[in-house]
Homo-oligomer: A and B are copies of this chain.
Amino acid sequence: MKRQSPNKVTSHEVAALAGVSRSAVSRTFTQGASVSAKTREKVLNAASELGYRPNALARSLIVRSTQMVGLVMAEWQNPFYTRMLRRFSERFQAEGYQLLLLTSNTDTDVDDAVRRLLQYQVDGLLVVSAKPSEAMARECANTGTPVVLVNRLAKTLQASSVTCDNAQIGRDTVEHLLAAGYRRLALVRGAPGVLTNIERTDAIRAGLSAAPDAEQVADVTGYLGYDAGRRVAAELWNSAAPPDAIICSSDPTALGVLDGARIDLGIDVPGQLAVVGMGDIPQSGWGAYRLTTVHLPVDEMIDLAVADLLARLADPELPPRPMVAHANLVNRDTVRSPHS
């Protein structure tokens, strides 16, 4: 009866059984190394008999590449990020990389996550919706670990970044709303400090200032997600200066506002009130909502991030660069048509 393979089989034991050297074993498992068909065969037989699998970590120690990419995920609220995660995983897996995943809640522990990932000698680093500190980014650069920031701007950081043109989004949104006859705009956003939102907000303000009869009646922060949206709808509507259009920084928030307006308050959307979201998640297209929203070019952003990281993995001399993807407004049923 054949003995069950023991706890961990090493190249040493395979070599012994095959009657060759450990180098021969190594070579059989290395692409493009020179081994004769005969030894190769002997090794393969011995290996499968013992259930041998090369230890990727020991290997990485010497080839100085782990084929692992670190991924720091700071935002999960939005379904849109799940999609990113999935595609990142698929794309890198296809290229022979594994994803080492770390979650971060506050912006401060992004650095912790990056540090941990660095200790695991990841070949590259993807940071979604968060930004490591200046010092941390420098440390990455020093160890030669390329970093790509997704949905955060790099600025002076030694890292590539993928964002979308938020100012453009802001301008488009306001223009569309004004053309449709709305005049009293309210902004609903999540955390106050998020740069993408600030840029957008600024652009909205700028767009507004061009139309003297229109105004921004509110700019509330700290509202993110369906429940928060549903709550804020009532608050805004019952305020001293009720809006006739609400712009939300995320789709789930906008859907909450929409249900709050229609169901809780009996408001006619888009007749009395316009609601626009941000992201274009699948649910926004669903029949019961048909939310007018800004389509984030998620796939384009992912592809840019993957391509850049892969390129810099292949050639470490390549400099990091900022990339911007283009978003566009998708017109559905929560804003009046401009002609009516």
Closest to A283 in B: B283
Q: Do A61 and B51 have beta carbons less than 8 Å apart? A: no
Question: Taking the complex as formed, is A21 at the interface, i.e. its CB lies under 8 A from any CB of chain B?
Answer: no
Among B5, B101, B119, the residue within 8 A (CB) of A101 is: B101
Q: What is the total number of copies of this protein in its complex?
A: 2
Among B4, B60, B287, the residue within 8 A (CB) of A57 is: B60
**Known contacts A82-B76, A283-B283: does B51 contact A142 (CB below 8 Å)?**
yes
Interface set, chain A 39-66, CB cutoff 8 A to B:
51, 53-58, 60-61, 66
Q: Do A287 and B230 have beta carbons less than 8 Å apart? A: yes
Q: Mark A210-252, 1 if CB is under 8 A from B, else 0.
A: 0000000000000000100010000000000000000000000
Query: How many Å from the CB of A82 to the closest CB on chain B?
Result: 4
CB-CB under 8 A from A116, the residues of chain B are 98
CB-CB under 8 A from A58, the residues of chain B are 61
Q: Do A259 and B230 have beta carbons less than 8 Å apart? A: no
CB-CB under 8 A from A324, the residues of chain B are none
CB-CB under 8 A from A288, the residues of chain B are 258-259, 262-263, 288-289
Question: Taking the complex as formed, is A255 at the interface, i.e. its CB lies under 8 A from any CB of chain B?
Answer: yes
Query: How many Å from the CB of A288 to the closest CB on chain B?
Result: 4
**Known contacts A57-B57, A289-B288: does B103 contact A86 (CB below 8 Å)?**
yes
Q: Do B100 and A98 have beta carbons less than 8 Å apart? A: yes
Question: Taking the complex as formed, is A118 at the interface, i.e. its CB lies under 8 A from any CB of chain B?
Answer: yes
CB-CB under 8 A from A260, the residues of chain B are 287
Q: Do B102 and A93 have beta carbons less than 8 Å apart? A: yes
Which 8 residue pairs are nearest across A and B when measured between Cβ atoms? Answer: A259-B287, A288-B288, A82-B82, A263-B287, A56-B119, A89-B103, A99-B101, A76-B86
